Amino acid sequence: MTINILHLYPREMNLYGDHGNVLALKQRAIWRGFDVKVIEHHVGDPIPKDIDIIFGGGGQDSGQVKIEEDLRANGDALKAKIEDGTPSLVICGLYQLFGRYFLTSEGKEIRGIGIFDAVTVAGSERLIGNIVIQSERFGEVVGYENHSGLTMPGEGAKPFGTVLKGAGNNGSDGTEGIMYRNCIGTYLHGPILPKNPAVADFLLLEALKRKDPSIAALQPLDDTLEMEAHRSAASRPR
Ligand code: GLN
Residues of the chain with pLDDT under 50: none
Q: Is 147 noted as a catalytic residue in this protein?
A: no
Please state, in angstroms and as integers, the Cα–Cα distance from residue 105 to each residue in 16, 110, 119, 163, following that order: 21, 11, 14, 24
62 CA from centroid of ligand 1 (Å): 10
Q: Does residue 148 have its Cβ closer than 6 Å to ligand 1?
A: yes
- Match domain 2-235 to its CATH number in 3.40.50.880, 3.30.465.10, 3.40.1410.10, 1.10.287.70: 3.40.50.880
Residue of 7, 41, 147, 189 with catalytic role: 189
Q: Does residue 104 have its Cβ closer than 6 Å to ligand 1?
A: no
Q: Does residue 143 have its Cβ closer than 6 Å to ligand 1?
A: no
Q: Does residue 97 have its Cβ closer than 6 Å to ligand 1?
A: no
Please state, in angstroms and as integers, the Cα–Cα distance from residue 56 to each residue in 62, 87, 184, 186, 195, following that order: 16, 12, 11, 11, 18
Q: Is 92 noted as a catalytic residue in this protein?
A: yes
Please report the atom of ligand 1 found closest to the CA of residue 149: 10
| E strand map for 74-200 | 88-91, 101-103, 109-111, 118-135, 139-153, 161-165, 175-176, 178-180, 183-186
pTM: 0.98
57 CA from centroid of ligand 1 (Å): 10
Q: Does residue 177 have its Cβ closer than 6 Å to ligand 1?
A: no
pLDDT of residue 173: 98
Which sequence spans correspond to the domains of the chain?
A: 2-235
Please report the atom of ligand 1 found closest to the CA of residue 92: 8
36 CA from centroid of ligand 1 (Å): 29
Q: Does residue 153 have its Cβ closer than 6 Å to ligand 1?
A: no
